[in-house]
A and B are shown apart, each in its own frame.
Chain A
Amino acid sequence: GESVGLHLPTLSVQEGDNSIINCAYSNSASDYFIWYKQESGKGPQFIIDIRSNMDKRQGQRVTVLLNKTVKHLSLQIAATQPGDSAVYFCAENSEAGSARQLTFGSGTQLTVLP
């Protein structure tokens, strides 16, 4: 079946450096993608989203890039801070039944080193 997957399960970066988290998706019909951040013991928290008719979207310190040709999504975090340490999930949105569903990847653990 269709799935969303991540290239790297863990990523360590120095404080102040930029972080890039990658995600591959396989459902060509997906038209909406979301990045979530999950801190230990908490539920996922929305970071940024992007529709398939866009290549790039910027938020505060975060940028999402979408390459539909190779079905690849990335999250860039500028000037990574200790508070950015968390698991990051990409999720793709698909139409199913009477409502749209989110399908999540397995996550990337980002660790920010002092």
Chain B
Amino acid sequence: NAGVTQTPKFQVLKTGQSMTLQCAQDMNHNSMYWYRQDPGMGLRLIYYSASEGTTDKGEVPNGYNVSRLNKREFSLRLESAAPSQTSVYFCASSLQRQWGMNTEAFFGQGTRLTVV
């Protein structure tokens, strides 16, 4: 059982380049999330998908787009990368739309992105 798998683990981009971060979960979870983590800070929500076919903006959506390809996969796209998007990106999934006991989010290992 792999849990939440993110690819790639590391990436360096030049300003203006585009790329897609991939995320897949094998836990049959309904909801999926993309967070970014900057040094010395907590995780900030970029976008989330409550269920297959729906996506919503989080706290910091500017400069990003997402696609919930199917129940398993949720991708994050940077159309024109900027140095301010240098960060570690985490994908997460949870079983239910409504949080309750023991319905915590499970996180991937992260993608370390540097934009030069």
Contacts and interface: CB of A to CB of B under 8 A. Distances in A.
A93 interface: yes
A43 interface: yes
A4 B44 CA distance: 11
Interface stretch (A13-21, A71-79, A99-107): A99-107
A91 B58 CA distance: 15
A89 B43 contact: yes
B27 interface: no
A27 interface: no
A107 B107 CA distance: 16
Q: Which of A4, A42, A97, A100 has the most CB of B within 10 A?
A: A100
A106 B38 CA distance: 10
Main secondary structure of the interface of B (DSSP, over half): loop
Contacts of B104: 34, 46, 49
Contact of A42 (B51, B100, B102, B110): B110
Pairs A-B, 3 closest by C-beta atoms = A104-B42, A43-B107, A99-B50
Given A4-B42, A102-B45, 11 more contacts: A34-B105, A43-B90, A43-B92, A44-B90, A45-B107, A51-B100, A99-B97, A102-B33, A102-B43, A102-B105, A104-B42
18 contacts: A34-B105, A42-B109, A42-B110, A43-B110, A44-B107, A46-B104, A46-B105, A51-B101, A91-B42, A98-B54, A99-B51, A99-B56, A101-B33, A102-B43, A102-B45, A106-B41, A107-B40, A107-B42
Interface of B: 4, 31, 33, 35, 40-45, 48-51, 54, 56-59, 90, 92, 97-102, 104-110
